[in-house]
Structure 1
Amino acid sequence: MQETILLVLSLLFVMLLLVMLGQKLRISYPIFLVLGGLALSLVPGLPHIVIDHELIFLIFLPPLLYEAAWYTSWQDFWRWKRPIGLLAFGLVFFTSTIVAYVSRAMIPGFTLPLGFLLGGIISPPDAVAATSVLKGVKVPRRVTAILQGESLINDASSLIVFRFALAAVVSGTFVWQQAAATFLLVSGMGLLVGLVVGQGFYLIHRYLPTTPSINTALTFIAPYSMYLLAEEFHFSGVLAVVSGGLLMSYHSHRVFDAATRLQSTSVWASVGFVLNGLVFILIGLELRVAVEGLGNYSLKQAIAYGLSISGIVIIIRLLWMYPAAFIPRWLSRSIRTSEPSPGWQGPLIIGWAGMRGVVSLASALSVPLLLAGGQAFPQRNLILFITFVVILVTLVFQGLTLPAIIRFTRISEYDSQAIPTDEQEAGIRLRLRTVALAHMGQHYTSDMQENELIRALHQRMHAEAQRTGNLLEALDYDESKRLALQRYHQVLLDVLQVQRKELFALRREGVFEDEMLRHQEAQLDLDEAKISHMPH
């Protein structure tokens, strides 16, 4: 037990060092962590690290999906639902089918069900990898929204393909009509479970006497509850977490106060970072397991198969992008008038941002060692190795070259409806200040002289506290001034409440990006926290 704890702590320490080194070299941390784990796996004498797939599915996947859903703009998700659906469902099924037939023709002994199994494993791109690579690189809002939306639901579609293919390998039979009906049932009920559980947590947050610490703890319980309940009834746990996370994100502004948002944001940022970091370094460490399990295949053969499948996966995504982007525009005049053309740059960037990651690895590791009759599962070790190569090639090769491709395309914001970031910030602040002034003029005009006194008093106290470094000295004032200061604080809190209501109205209008509105909401939270900690 102590050795396990020591190993985990060592991995955490190494992960942090690699992330800091990656930042210094300006390399996206998932790429650097995979390469670091790959290098560590080659160190002689290093303990064998075998990852239990259940650990990834149950421990890592629910919170990571929940966090991604929490920060996804529902407005953008709904606006770009067509391209998101074509990628998350259409491309996943298309990739799985092509990989199935190619692998059967290429690899001796590979059957069509095994091909679909491999296709389901390697078809979904990783959300964290694409998001981290795109940080610091300016791309249109539309590109980011489509990639984020795709990453939310493509895991569900790929895992469903994986389940059907696994059942076909085990049973030896596969019925398309039954698979399609089961897919609709599993997906629909997964969404329903997430919405029901999410509504339950919403009621708890809103109507029970919670505290910031309790609220933060509940946000960690929620994704596991959604996932486990859905999986217990053999529905899609991934879609349950996604739908529940989107619901809670939509209602978070109503049920969480400033203290809860500040605390939960910082806690989730740290936990999400650690979970993502551990997953990517563990991917690299699995190299030794993948190589030692090849069995009858030589390393040269396995690498050739892995590189071939990797190239096919990359080409399939690029070939899919342009018909999926332009055929609907050719068929529908309403799409042409409501959506600006993505040009050739948008599909290229989205197509190249298809890095594979944690879900692919977890799916490959979850392939059973034995069939129901006790025979060894056919081609399991080769499937695991090919998956590892695909993750390595797409994550490292595409991840490192994606910023260069973005610069090559010289892409700019092609959505005429999109407002530049600086203009959005200025517009939001103008609206908030306008309602604040209107509220002050309506409720505090008669107290203008008193307000001036309060403002001057607060400035004097603040200067004195900063000069002496002792807040207790700044509290040395008479009772009348103390009451005036309390009134001043109450005025500020009232203004902040009015501004929050205006933010809700702005969110419903859908003019400004959710990210910008979240930023302004965080600023209001900080202002409220400052007032709460001021001397009264």
Structure 2
Amino acid sequence: MTVSHIIILLFIGYLVFSIDKKQDNFPVPAILVLMGMGLSLVTYFSNIEVTEAIIYNIFIPPLLFISAYQFPIEGFLKNRKLILGLATVGLLLMMLLLGGAIYGIGLLFFSLPLTASLLLASILTPTDPVSVVSIIKQATGDEDLAHTVEGESMLNDGTSVVVFTSLLTLYQQPNSVSFASFFADFFFVFAGGILIGVIFGWIVVNIIHYSHHPHYQLMLSIVLAYGSFIVAEHFGFSGVLAVVSSGMMISYAFGQTEKEDHFRSQLDGFWEIVELSLLAILFLVIGIEVTEYLRGSFVAFASVVFILTIIVRFIVIYVMTSLLDTHNLQYNLLITWSGLKGSMSVFLILTLHAKANTGTVIDNIVGISFMVVLFSLIIQSLTVAPLAKKLLKRS
């Protein structure tokens, strides 16, 4: 991707976000992805290539940091049981149920081994609501619902990477992974990432007041977002969870005092521009990239898998909310439908394509996954606002 590509994509993103400012509940992800698919037909854009390393190391850290530091700690504490449950045990249950369902249904379409079915399921379980959170707030006015969706998506990104990595190893080396080693690695990566993020966040919170120049403070926030990620990954921990926990440390500090309000306003101004720019490029590139893997032969199976992701997600959410005595059918449906597939799923797909041995099975998983992500981004983002208004009877 050249500088001229980036400038043009940013300008297209500016036009789309400008329309978004004038229309409520505008499905930005769907529009950008569709425009990206259109751009793929233009020779100038067809040679754009984005690797899994670029998405993971450049796009994901700042996007997660923005969500985390803007995420109110009160919202997390109030809904912590459901958020943590869905992002850990819930994600594992979704992966197992979805993988089993794909394996069974696959016998009618593509014959996928059980490990391959679970690998496909692990790609499609992480959620990435992005602008859907703001749509939910506008359509329902319910912040608890939005906090649950956003909190789950921040944490389950880290969980999904650990699960996917273990399953990919199991697929390539069937005898190298045991349940004991899986859970040991899971705890190590999960806890280590959070610890690194908390330490980095605590350090930054305590040194912010030593520099009153806003530009230097913004530089420090960039160091925190990328530094916590890089250090955690270096030691084999979850960089995703490190970024999230460091951002939430900042959020916690903001909630305790008004002394650093000027820092918060500077952060908002800078990182909101970064967020919009990255989202514009990311979703346009997803649209450009996905067209290479679309096959007519995948449509039927991908459609069934997409429906299965919704059904399985609803079942797990229903069980979790029932156990926590917070069951509400309308909310369960909205939380289910708000779980879009996005940047993390695309990163996992590209990782699979780069690291796994090429073959019919891997090609099928990559093609089906991309098509399900496309269905999710377009169908769910276009319909979440009207569904929310209908279910909660808000005009």
TM-score normalised by the chain length of structure 2: 0.91
Cα displacement string for residues 91-143 of structure 1 (whole angstroms, at most 9, x for unaligned residues): 31122112322333405452222222211111011131421432521232221
1:249 aligns with 2:231: no
Which residue of structure 1 aligns with residue 302 of structure 2? 306
Over 3 Å counting, the alpha-carbon distance change for 1:309 and 1:168 in structure 2 is same
Report the more deviating stretch, 315-324 or 47-56.
315-324
Task: Specify which of 146, 150, 153 is matched with residue 152 of structure 2.
Answer: 150
- 1:92-491 to structure 2, matched below 5 A, reads 92-105=91-104, 106=106, 108-173=110-175, 174-206=177-209, 208-252=210-254, 254=257, 257-291=260-294, 299-329=295-325, 343-369=328-354, 371=356, 375-376=357-358, 379-410=361-392
Q: Is the 8 A contact 1:56 1:362 kept in 2?
A: yes
In structure 1, what is the Cα distance between the partners aligned to 2:229 and 2:335?
Answer: 29
Over 3 Å counting, the alpha-carbon distance change for 1:161 and 1:216 in structure 2 is same
Q: Is the 8 A contact 1:34 1:281 kept in 2?
A: yes
Q: Is the 8 A contact 1:116 1:161 kept in 2?
A: no
Q: CA deviation at 1:342?
A: 5.0
Q: CA deviation at 1:370?
A: 5.4
Which amino acid is the alignment partner of residue 65 of structure 1?
L
Which amino acid is the alignment partner of residue 6 of structure 2?
V
Task: Specify which of 8, 14, 19 is matched with residue 17 of structure 2.
Answer: 19
Q: CA deviation at 1:327?
A: 3.2
1:86 aligns with 2:82: no
Which amino acid is the alignment partner of residue 124 of structure 1?
P
Helix, strand or coil: the match of 2:372? helix
Which residue of structure 2 aligns with residue 481 of structure 1? none
Q: CA deviation at 1:167?
A: 1.1
Q: CA deviation at 1:411?
A: 5.2
In structure 2, what is the Cα distance between the partners aligned to 1:213 and 1:242?
Answer: 23
Q: Is the 8 A contact 2:290 2:371 kept in 1?
A: no
In our comparison, the structure showing a higher alpha carbon Rg is 1
Helix, strand or coil: the match of 1:286? helix
Which residue of structure 2 aligns with residue 68 of structure 1? 67
Percent same amino acid among aligned pairs? 27
Instruction: Identify which of structures 1 and 2 has the higher relative contact order when contacts are C-alpha pairs closer than 8 Å and 6+ apart.
Output: 2
Which residue of structure 2 aligns with residue 7 of structure 1? 5
Over 3 Å counting, the alpha-carbon distance change for 1:204 and 1:137 in structure 2 is same
Which amino acid is the alignment partner of residue 190 of structure 1?
G
In structure 1, what is the Cα distance between the partners aligned to 2:193 and 2:154?
Answer: 13
Which amino acid is the alignment partner of residue 386 of structure 2?
A
In structure 1, what is the Cα distance between the partners aligned to 2:233 and 2:111?
Answer: 32
In structure 1, what is the Cα distance between the partners aligned to 2:39 and 2:353?
Answer: 27
Over 3 Å counting, the alpha-carbon distance change for 1:74 and 1:288 in structure 2 is same
Over 3 Å counting, the alpha-carbon distance change for 1:407 and 1:289 in structure 2 is same
Q: CA deviation at 1:188?
A: 0.7
Which amino acid is the alignment partner of residue 366 of structure 1?
T
Helix, strand or coil: the match of 1:159? helix
TM-score normalised by the chain length of structure 1: 0.68
Q: Is the 8 A contact 1:211 1:260 kept in 2?
A: no
The CA RMSD over aligned residues, in Å, is 2.2
In structure 2, what is the Cα distance between the partners aligned to 1:31 and 1:319?
Answer: 26
Helix, strand or coil: the match of 1:137? helix
Count the aligned residue pairs. Answer: 388
In structure 2, what is the Cα distance between the partners aligned to 1:6 and 1:129?
Answer: 26
Helix, strand or coil: the match of 1:366? helix
Cα displacement string for residues 331-387 of structure 1 (whole angstroms, at most 9, x for unaligned residues): xxxxxxxxxx5532111111111111111001111115455xxx5366333222222
Give unmatched runs, 5+ long, in structure 2.
none
Which amino acid is the alignment partner of residue 96 of structure 1?
M
Q: CA deviation at 1:258?
A: 4.4
Which amino acid is the alignment partner of residue 350 of structure 2?
L
